[in-house]
Amino acid sequence: MYIDCLQYVAPSPQVFLQMREAQMDAVHITVGYHEDFAGVVQNLQTWNSWFERCPDLICRATSVKDIHDAKANGKTAILFGLQNPFPIGTNLAQIELLHNLGIRFCQVTYNQQSLLGAGCFESHDGGLTDFGREAITEMNRVGMVIDLSHASHQTCLDTIEWSKRPVTVTHANPKNWRDVPRNLKPDVIAALVEKGGMVGFSLYPHHLANGSDCSLADFANMVKGLMDTYGPNHFGIGSDLCQDQPDSVVQWMRNGTWKKDPDLSATFPAPPSWFKDNRDFPGLADGLTGAGIANRDTAGVLGDNWMRFFETAFEPL
């Protein structure tokens, strides 16, 4: 089972063919960064049109059964998620409605302060807000997977403690491997694993030691170290693949619409040579086994661990 638990690829038949070439069983796709609710609905409409146009390659998925069916039919299951809770607004009832629309992952915030909690780039880290606690409880109830990627340290700790269900960080790496705000301190990883959560390893260069020059062996050794410490069952891949997106997209991701003088200098970094698109996914196995990870645990990282987590994650309590 091959599962990538975070991509923001620009959809195209070419990309879907690459997913099939890699025999990707499921990919979690972001349908909202800075968009409001109407913008998310538009993105879902766009994906529906791709499902209609490419029915032999991809299909909409909202459950574990959908993923199994996709695999049986030789398709890649597309799961939806939000990197920003902004479409919830201040309305708790939006959470179930977004779940009704098929969205299965929702971040607590994207980099800055949200109404739910502080982000990893926000100056002050106040952790989870009062509304954040209400929202986490509601996400628990309806079966919306809580994603702590881009959240602050305290928001991660508060959420892991408050949530009644295991939570995820779909795309990040350990901060002691690459020290950037987006990566995770050991106490977050430990607390998340303790509660049955999942971390998806990011392959985005800014999250990798040595950036674009990171070797697969170095990445695999980092994975091996975490699996030795925390056991083999709590880790997967969330590559953060942003294939075929123009640099204007990363500038929009960084700046949104909230800065008077946005920094428009950002460009997408070159991907590591060993992960340029979905076709490189199966090859990750060579790196992981090369680092001494057992075949079964390598299969866990490449999809089986996410699948086990999904078994109980998407349904209402």
- Alpha-carbon distance 90 to 190, whole Å? 31
For residue 242, the minimal CB distance to a second copy (Å) is 21
Give 137 or 245: the residue with its C-beta nearer to a second copy. Answer: 137
- Residues 244, 237 contacting (CB under 8 angstroms): no
As a whole number of angstroms, the distance between CA 58 and CA 25 comes to 9
Cα-Cα-Cα-Cα dihedral of 32, 35, 38, 42, to 10°?
-50
Q: How far is the CB of 36 from a second copy (least distance, A)?
A: 6
What are the residues binding a second copy (CB under 8 A)? 34, 36, 86, 89-93, 112-115, 118, 121-124, 126-127, 129-131, 134-135, 137-138, 256-260
Contact 192, 172 (CB under 8 A): no
Smallest separation, CB 44 to a second copy (Å): 20
User: Do the Cβ atoms of 50 and 72 come closer than 8 Å?
Assistant: no
Identify whether the C-beta of residue 161 lies closer than 8 Å to the C-beta of residue 190: no
Q: Which is nearer to a second copy, 62 or 163 (CB)?
A: 163
Minimum distance, C-beta of residue 131 to a second copy, in the bound complex (Å): 5
Nearer to a second copy, 138 or 218 (CB): 138
CB of 8 to a second copy, least distance (A): 19
Q: What are the CA-CA distances from residue 96 to residues 30, 100, 265, 298 (Å)?
A: 18, 6, 38, 35
Is the Cβ of residue 42 or residue 295 nearer to a second copy in the bound state?
Answer: 42
Token representation of residue 115: 């109404």
What minimum distance in Å lies between the beta carbon of 134 and a second copy? Answer: 6
Alpha-carbon 1 to chain mean position:
17
E strands in the chain = 3-7, 26-30, 58-60, 76-82, 103-107, 145-147, 168-172, 198-201, 235-237
Please identify, using beta-carbon distances, which residue of 54 and 82 lies nearer to a second copy. 82
How near is the Cβ of 129 to a second copy at its closest, in Å? 4
Nearer to a second copy, 176 or 251 (CB): 251
Cβ-based nearer residue to a second copy, 123 or 265 = 123
